[in-house]
A and B are shown apart, each in its own frame.
Chain A
Amino acid sequence: MSRIQTLFHRKNTRVLNIYFTAGYPELNSTLAIIAQLEKSGADVIEIGMPYSDPIADGPVIQQSSAKALQNGMSIEVLFTQLSELRSLCSIPVVLMGYMNPVLQYGFEKFCEQASKVGIDGIILPDMPVIEFERVYSPVLKKYGLDMIFLVTPETSEQRVRLLNQCSSGFLYAVSSSSTTGKDKDFSKVEQYLERLLSYRLHNPILVGFGIHNAATFTAATKYAQGAIVGSAFIKWLDEKGATTESIDHFVKNIKGV
């Protein structure tokens, strides 16, 4: 069983996945943030690989990506930092990014390195399903990596099932068709999550985009196994700094403990 599957086997409610951008706020803050997130009670960590043209991201994550790139972050640097990942972190860690930098690094080399440092899954929102099926799926399998696809409220049932088939680990439900960081009307989100639930998919569902406090986390996890917090955490780091206390405060506040 993969690390992600083991997690959901043990715990299938209120799973908290926290996203942050690698190399933000400082080039070398990556590992310290990971260690503190686990200590404070995050269940999954999603590391954003910064990209110059992040079309699926809103202004907060765009700015953190631009800053991280300025700081000198790259896939190469990230893997060097992550070589110590498994000596200080035991929860699932996934990488999120865009196709272009990964292709430039080399897709297979990327999977090999990710697997070597102990990464569990990959999220590449602009990977086409037909390319996944034709080219990339066997490579991900070879290195034991879970691939996580996104679904939206506009995604048809047939396509949700297809994306669920292609995914392993979990399915990423975007809470509305929107770039990251937009506030959401939660009654609509609930209807959508009920619909997903009714499909009885084999993957657990994590809800992303727009979750920023205990109330939205609780609302999102009523119908899904867990939720992903991204922009709200970046904004917090920006305002309060990436200290032990600030990260601890943020995670406990979202979890309502």
Chain B
Amino acid sequence: MHTQFSVPDADGYYGEFGGAYIPEMLFQNVEQLRTQYRLIMEEESFQKEFNALLKDYVGRPTPLFHAKRLSEKYATTILLKREDLCHTGAHKINNTVGQVLLAQRLGKKRIIAETGAGQHGVATATVCALKGLECIVYMGEKDMQRQEPNVARMRMLGATVIPATSGSKTLKDATNEAIRDWINNPVDTHYIIGSVVGPHPYPDMVARFQSIISKEIQDQLLNEYGVDKPTRVMACVGGGSNAAGAFYHFLDDSEVEIVAVEAAGHGVHSGMSAATTQLGVTGVLHGSKSIVMQTSDGQVVEPHSISAGLDYPGIGPLHAHLFNSGRGIFINATDEEAMKAAFEISQLEGIIPALETAHAFAVLNDMKFDPSDITVICLSGRGDKDLSTYMAELKKQVDHE
């Protein structure tokens, strides 16, 4: 019986979720990854280069910051894991550094990626520039409009950004296009998936690359607070990579509470939501079995969230298992609540968070904290990319006054 939450079984299943539901045209590539990823990741030369880049290029370790005014408000201790201070402004780069080094060792010359908020696209374009690799990023047409600064950044870094014009023109469709590109370029191309989704071994591989987040939390708690674990860890969940990274080393310790926050959009039952665990059922999307938002006919529905990075109708199989087994607590925040929380955190702590991240703060009001609790929130990214959305909100506030 497979009992660990953090790693899947040999076939890539977390409980009933995961696996590799891929057309034969992708088999060779995915199989090569499956048989190689652990071996390459464990090589000494890989570890050395990966760790050096995380330190000197990404800027790790990121601080674990005691948010005093926020803590005071809830009469407890709240610590923020500052992934927003990573180079390029979010946790996404931990994974892209790892996968680019892996792709090089697999002899791949061409890198493709999908992106929602543009953070994963920027992180991929950045590391490709560093390594002199060709980089193609698929991005939903709608997301290209709402995350315009990131489109410009990718282009400045030398990447080609290709708009995905099918379906809802967001992250789901960008992922479809990236998969089709990989099918059509089976030999020289590596596909860097940006979250803990996709066919096995992607969810496990991405979780391992992101697990540096919880490893550092563990070390920092011990060194700075003299405790070996927090009371709880909280993170927002799109596909679930920052959450997987922040939870990773605590998943198999049942004393640590795991809190995942999904995007409710206009409200879970408004028909304009992206709260996958609340609205989805078991299905197959982008190569793995998980929880998927879909119609009764099995057509994947178009989700809605104000944050492009959470606007996805699925969730990584690891999280589907955390939800189904009850190991994780899954709650959600609306667009409006996230927006309010973004302003609150900015003004309480002097940190402007990404809209995705703001969802993790938006649920604090609904939670109960003991004074002795230590709560770690993964501050997955900074808000620069969301400035136009924030400016529109500021204008609304001014007009209102």
A 59-100 to B, binary, CB cutoff 8 A, 1 in contact else 0 = 000100010010000111000000000000000000000111
**CB–CB A53/B23 < 8 A:** no
**CB–CB B300/A100 < 8 A:** yes
A98 to B296, CA, bound (A): 15
Q: Which of A62, A155, A178 contacts B27 (CB 8 A)?
A: A155
A126 to B22, CA, bound (A): 4
Give the contacts of A133-184 with B (CB-CB under 8 A): 149-152, 154-156, 159, 163, 174, 177-179, 182
Q: Which of B24, B166, B284, B297 contacts A174 (CB 8 A)?
A: B24
**Does A101 reach chain B (CB closer than 8 Å)?**
yes
**CB–CB B300/A55 < 8 A:** no
B 296-310 to A, binary, CB cutoff 8 A, 1 in contact else 0 = 111110000000000
**Does B183 reach chain A (CB closer than 8 Å)?**
yes
Residues of chain A lying within 8 A (CB to CB) of residue B184: 177-179, 182
**CB–CB B299/A69 < 8 A:** yes
A55-B176, A177-B186, A178-B183 as given contacts; A66 in contact with B23, CB under 8 Å: no
Q: How far is the CB of A207 from the nearest CB of chain B, in Å? A: 14
Residues of chain B lying within 8 A (CB to CB) of residue A76: 297
A56-B183, A58-B180, A178-B184 as given contacts; A75 in contact with B298, CB under 8 Å: yes
**CB–CB B183/A126 < 8 A:** no
**CB–CB A53/B300 < 8 A:** yes
Q: Which residue of A lies closest to B172 (CB)?
A: A53
Q: How far is the CB of B12 from the nearest CB of chain A, in Å? A: 10
**Does A41 reach chain B (CB closer than 8 Å)?**
no
B 276-297 to A, binary, CB cutoff 8 A, 1 in contact else 0 = 0000011111110000101011
A154 to B23, CA, bound (A): 13
B 256-289 to A, binary, CB cutoff 8 A, 1 in contact else 0 = 0000000000000000000000000111111100
**CB–CB B183/A177 < 8 A:** yes
**Does B28 reach chain A (CB closer than 8 Å)?**
yes
Give the contacts of B189-227 with A (CB-CB under 8 A): none
> Which of B's residues lie within 8 Å of A, judged by CB?
11, 19-25, 27-28, 166-167, 172, 176, 179-180, 183-184, 186, 281-287, 292, 294, 296-300
17 new A-B contacts at CB < 8 Å, known A53-B172, A56-B25? A53-B176, A55-B23, A99-B21, A100-B285, A100-B298, A102-B298, A103-B282, A125-B25, A126-B21, A126-B287, A150-B25, A163-B24, A177-B25, A177-B186, A178-B183, A178-B184, A179-B25
